[in-house]
Amino acid sequence: MSEQLLIIGCGNLLRGDDAVGPVLVRRLLELGLPPDVGVADAGTSGMDVAFRMRGVEMVILVDAARTGAEAGTIYSVPGSIVEQLPPLTGINLHAFRWDHALAFGRWLLKDEYPRSVQVYLIEGADFTIGAPLSPPVAARMEDLAHHLHHNPWQPYPGYARVFDSSSDHHGDVAA
C-alpha cells in the first residue's frame, strides 16, 4: 500500500529544541506506524518537503516555534494559512523553509498536492547549539508522537482556537 499520510519533521538536530521535528520522526519509527503512513526527516531542507508531498493525500508537518509562549505549547495551523507567502524573489536554497516549500509545492504539484496539510509547531525554550530537547518540549513531543502512533488521521486534541483575521482560515493552539 502506498503512503496516504506523510508526517514530516523539520528542524536542525544540532540546535536544542529546533530538533523537535526530526526527533519526533525518529520516535515514530520506534513506535511504528500503520502501513499507509510514512515519515520523512526533512531537517532544514525545505525543498525536500515539497517533493516528498507529491501524490500523498494528507501531510502533517512538525517543527519548532519561537513566539514567546510557554515552552511545549503546540500550535496547530492549517497548511492553507502558511502557504500564502509573498513572491519568493531574492530567496536562495539556504533560506528556503518549509513554509516556502508548501507554497512552492502547491504551485509545482498542482493536482498532486496533498488534499490536506496540517502543521504542528511546538514552542521551544532552548535553541542552543548542542543542547538536547528541553524537558517541556520533550514531553510534548512524546505526547504528540503517541497520538500520531495511535491515531494519525485525527487532529491532536486539546486546542484553543486561534483565528487568522486576514482570511476564513483558522488554526488551533494546544496549551
Residue 37 pLDDT: 95
Q: Which comes out higher in pLDDT, residue 67 or 142?
A: 142
Q: Which comes out higher in pLDDT, residue 166 or 47?
A: 47
What lies within 8 Å, CB to CB, of 113 at 6+ separation is 53, 105, 106
- Strand ranges for the chain from DSSP E: 5-10, 37-43, 58-65, 74-78, 116-123, 159-163, 170-174
Write down the pTM of the prediction.
Answer: 0.84
Tens of pLDDT, residue by residue over 88-144, are: 666 666 667 777 778 888 888 889 999 999 999 999 999 999 999 999 999 999 999
Tell me which DSSP letter residue 73 carries. -
Least reliable range by pLDDT among 46-50, 66-70, 73-77, 102-106: 46-50
Tens of pLDDT, residue by residue over 4-26, are: 999 999 999 999 999 999 999 99
